[in-house]
Amino acid sequence: ELGQVAQTIVDKIPLAGGIVEFKVRAPMVARSAKAGQFVRVLAWDDGELIPLTLADWDAEEGTIDLVIQGMGTSTLLMNKMAIGDAFAGIAGPLGQASELHKYGPDQTVVFTAGGVGLPPVYPIARAHLELGNHVTLIAGFRSKDFLFWTGEDERMGKLKAKWGDQLDVIYATNDGTFGLKGFVTTPLEEMLKNDKTSKGRRIAEVITIGPPIMMRVVSDLTKPYGVKTVASLNSIMVDATGMCGACMVPVMIDGKLVRKHACIDGPEIDAHIIDWDKFLPRFGAFKTQEQRSKEAHGL
């Protein structure tokens, strides 16, 4: 069993559309966290275990930042918690850190972040920037009502101000109310077709984090171009120790179906080897129970 230590919420920022950012005291996690890793949160004693990829951390302050979208019973109730409340336990950092490679000045690392995929993308993009890589970050939101972090004095604005030309940020909304009209795949497709970005850089790799269906579409898009693509999968996990099998990801390696554990082999997995046809239906598997549970809690 992983260590579970009660952790106090020291700040809470409602972001948009049922999305909340928490700053939580978790000095042990903050001290050893690396980009791409996640924590397993137990909100209250008999609660569900929720995996959350770190949005940020501060080793000196001893805090970690988590962004939670209220969707199921647990996340909706978690988002009602206040500053001074404590989560019953946070275990981590868990999973493999992102693999970082140094690329040339004519290349760019492209991120496609869908909705609450942006918080987990943020530290990974920053790690690439710190390594000297050029980054193209495409962030997609449903509409302007779901936007967060995009203001000048918010995270993305500050990141852009700090890194200047080393970072290109492209926003897209499904309805065109902010940034481009379309999906994260709209600008990505253009880059792939032109074999480069509008600034003339070639895509070194694509990292996609967001709704599973979006990650699949990104994976299908890049595959014929042979562009390395990594998906960060942490949607269904229970023990996060490789024992329970809840996080199984079917992948094809040398023509053989192999099972990977998102919790210990991931959360990042080569998107092109994932058997998405077998993998995606898992996300619908608990819909009915979730709905019943929400109704029972009056949510």
Which residues contact ligand FES (rule: CB under 6 A)?
237-240, 242-247, 261, 263
Whole-angstrom CA distances from 185 to 6, 33, 146, 172, 196 are 40, 30, 18, 9, 14
CB of 49 vs ligand FES, minimal distance in Å: 8
Please say which residue, 5 or 246, places its beta carbon nearer to ligand FES: 246
Please say which residue, 105 or 245, places its beta carbon nearer to ligand FES: 245
SS (H, E, C) the chain: CCCCEEEEEEEEEEEECCEEEEEEECHHHHHHCCCCCEEEEECCCCCCEEEEECCEEECCCCEEEEEEECCCHHHHHHCCCCCCCEEEEEEEEECCCCCCCCCCCCEEEEEEEEHHHHHHHHHHHHHHHHHCCCEEEEEEECCHHHCCCCCCCCHHHHHHHHHHHHEEEEEEECCCCCCEECCCHHHHHHHHHHCCCCCCCEEEEEEEECCHHHHHHHHHHHHHHCCCEEEECCCCCCCCCCCCCCCEEEEEECCEEEEEECCCCCCEEEHHHECHHHHHHHHHCCHHHHHHHHHHCCC
CB of 147 vs ligand FES, minimal distance in Å: 31
Please say which residue, 143 or 235, places its beta carbon nearer to ligand FES: 235
CB of 242 vs ligand FES, minimal distance in Å: 5
Please say which residue, 38 or 149, places its beta carbon nearer to ligand FES: 38
Please say which residue, 85 or 239, places its beta carbon nearer to ligand FES: 239
Which residue carries 């595959």 as its tokens? 223
Please say which residue, 207 or 237, places its beta carbon nearer to ligand FES: 237
CB of 248 vs ligand FES, minimal distance in Å: 7
Please say which residue, 25 or 261, places its beta carbon nearer to ligand FES: 261
CB of 116 vs ligand FES, minimal distance in Å: 20
Please say which residue, 81 or 236, places its beta carbon nearer to ligand FES: 236
CB of 244 vs ligand FES, minimal distance in Å: 3
Q: Which residue is nearest to ligand FES (CB)?
A: 263
CB of 136 vs ligand FES, minimal distance in Å: 31
Reading the block at residue 132, the tokens are 């000297």
Q: How many CA atoms lie within 13 A of 49 on its CB side?
A: 21
287: exposed, middle or buried (Cβ count in 10 Å: 0-12, 13-18, 19+):
exposed
CB of 266 vs ligand FES, minimal distance in Å: 9
